[in-house]
Amino acid sequence: MRKHCLLLISQCPVVHRFKAILLLALLLPACANAQVGGLMHNSWVALGAGANHYGNGLGAGFNATVGKWLISTAALRGQYSMQMPMLVSGEGTAPTIHYGHVDIMADFYSALKGRNPSDQFRSYLGVGVGLVHSSTGDNDFCGVAIAGCDWKVSDDWRLFAEMSAYVHPSDFNHYAKASMLEFVHLGVIYDIANNPTRSRSRFETQRFENDWFFNIALGTCSFNYRGIETFGQRVEQLTPIFEFGIGKRLTTLWQIRLCASGLYAKSSEELFSYYNIRGDLMMDPMALLMPAKPYCRFTAMPYLSAGIVTRLDDQSNFLFSPAVGMQLVYRADKRNSIYLDARYCVTPPRFARIDTPQSIYTVGMATAVIGYAYTFSRQSFR
């Protein structure tokens, strides 16, 4: 657009060039603000404070959040929260706890009904995974479930109310034996976006029921932990794995998937059954490199996951397990594709029941599978 404007100005008579340049200087900022896209588009920051309940006491806390609505119905956000004890009953001590987590949020009202830009009220649900640190020196993984709502008070500001449940292993804190902290808080949201109503873009599916898919896969996995030193020991750890999932392509760039996988795993000399349930946030970078072809025949999609793992010989032991992976995809046609998927799933040391001391970041399962995916209905990008 800027090139066309400069070309037109250069063709104007000299007398009118000054007026044209002045008019262009006034219009360009407005044009820039009207453009849809960019990293800051549909982003927000928020501050909140409230009361919490943890173990044997009550307390207070605050959090700071930064987020972005990827589409009109789904958002990704990162949050830091600090929770402090105030009233403690019984024995034990409620420590100061620091949480850092990444959440996926969904506005189901918009997904089912569609959003009117004049709506003042918004509600949302979300789940997330992250790390937790206690003032007593304990560190571990955590999960979070979110339910909230907000009210528009101006084009840039909103007020919100939110309930959060932070979940971590019951042996996370040695003083207050609790696996959950509940937090109710109020706060303010500032919309950085030029368009806080989160209008649909041309990269977004027009209808909620479009672009769903399922996949099924078979492969192998191998436990990783300190004590495996040779390639032969690594081969001895190999076990079969089965996986299936269902997902939705949200935009040409982003898609989400819910997967269940498992079968057997082997740590040391012990063979056991397990399963892993996780949610994947996947990105297709070819959509950025080739925007005119949102569905390339070959593509590579990196992804991040959050989920739980549990052993079938210990059904009560649900442990949080993040993962990072890469999927290589070949699309045979508009509906059918095959893929190779490799990922590394981090698990707490107690999941493998290893006697040798291990840090929480060194134990995990490396997985490779080959799979088939079928897309139910595919079209609807504008």
pLDDT recorded at residue 18: 47
* 35 domain residue, yes or no: no
180 and 241 together in one domain: no
* 18 domain residue, yes or no: no
Nearest residue to 184 via CA among 148, 140, 139, 223: 148
The amino acid at residue 308 is I
pLDDT recorded at residue 90: 54
242 and 285 together in one domain: yes
Torsion of CA 21, 22, 26, 27, to 10 degrees: -30
Instruction: Give me the residues paired with residue 57 across strands.
Output: 54, 88
pLDDT recorded at residue 244: 94
pLDDT recorded at residue 351: 80
pLDDT recorded at residue 380: 46
Q: How many domains does the chain have?
A: 2
pLDDT recorded at residue 173: 61
Where residue 94 falls among pLDDT bands split at 50, 70, 90?
low
Is a pLDDT exceeding 60 seen at residue 2? no
In this structure, what token pair is assigned to residue 38? 């960019």
Share above pLDDT 70 across residues of the chain, in percent, rounded to a whole number = 70
| CATH number for the domain harbouring residue 166 | 2.40.160.20
238 and 332 together in one domain: yes
Is a pLDDT exceeding 80 seen at residue 208? no
* 17 domain residue, yes or no: no
Better pLDDT: 324 or 334: 324
Is a pLDDT exceeding 60 seen at residue 40? yes
279 and 218 together in one domain: yes
Is a pLDDT exceeding 80 seen at residue 3? no
- Contact between residue 54 and residue 82 where contact means Cβ atoms under 8 Å apart: no
Where residue 95 falls among pLDDT bands split at 50, 70, 90?
confident
Mean pLDDT of the chain: 76
Give the end of a domain, one of 162, 191, 220.
Answer: 191
pLDDT recorded at residue 26: 46
Measured distance CA(10)–CA(17) in Å, rounded: 8
Is a pLDDT exceeding 60 seen at residue 92? no
54 and 131 together in one domain: yes
Is a pLDDT exceeding 90 seen at residue 238? no
Is a pLDDT exceeding 80 seen at residue 249? yes
Average pLDDT over residues 290-298: 70
262 and 186 together in one domain: no
175 and 230 together in one domain: no
* 196 domain residue, yes or no: no
Q: 104-118, 186-200, 231-245: lowest mean pLDDT where?
A: 104-118
237 and 144 together in one domain: no
Where residue 204 falls among pLDDT bands split at 50, 70, 90?
low
218 and 183 together in one domain: no
286 and 356 together in one domain: yes
**pLDDT tens per residue across span 50-89:** 999 886 678 899 999 999 887 777 788 999 999 887 665 5
Is a pLDDT exceeding 80 seen at residue 293? no
Residues near 37 by Cβ (< 8 Å), separated by ≥ 6?
201
pLDDT recorded at residue 220: 93
Residues near 360 by Cβ (< 8 Å), separated by ≥ 6?
139, 140, 141, 346, 348, 349
* 34 domain residue, yes or no: no
- Contact between residue 226 and residue 350 where contact means Cβ atoms under 8 Å apart: no
DSSP string over 202-238: TTBBSSTTSSEEEEEEEEEEEEE-TT--SHHHHHHT-
Residues near 200 by Cβ (< 8 Å), separated by ≥ 6?
71, 72, 206, 382
Q: 210-214, 223-227, 283-287: lowest mean pLDDT where?
A: 223-227
DSSP string over 110-152: HHHH---TT--EEEEEEEEEEEEEETTS-EEEEEEEEEEEEEE
Q: 174-188, 216-230, 312-326, 353-367: lowest mean pLDDT where?
A: 353-367
pLDDT recorded at residue 99: 93
pLDDT recorded at residue 170: 58
The residue segments making up the domain with residue 310 are: 212-375
* 24 domain residue, yes or no: no
pLDDT recorded at residue 185: 93
176 and 315 together in one domain: no
* 343 domain residue, yes or no: yes
Torsion of CA 316, 322, 328, 331, to 10 degrees: 60
pLDDT recorded at residue 361: 59
Where residue 329 falls among pLDDT bands split at 50, 70, 90?
very high
227 and 279 together in one domain: yes
Q: Is 194 helix (H, G, I), strand (E, B) or coil?
A: coil
Measured distance CA(52)–CA(173) in Å, rounded: 16
Average pLDDT over residues 217-246: 83
Torsion of CA 142, 145, 149, 152, to 10 degrees: 40
Where residue 22 falls among pLDDT bands split at 50, 70, 90?
very low
In this structure, what token pair is assigned to residue 156? 């840039």
* 9 domain residue, yes or no: no
Better pLDDT: 292 or 181: 181
In this structure, what token pair is assigned to residue 100? 């850092």
Measured distance CA(290)–CA(273) in Å, rounded: 43
Assessment of whether the complete model's pTM goes beyond 0.75: no
Where residue 353 falls among pLDDT bands split at 50, 70, 90?
confident
Give the end of a domain, one of 191, 220, 251.
Answer: 191
Give the end of a domain, one of 160, 191, 222.
Answer: 191
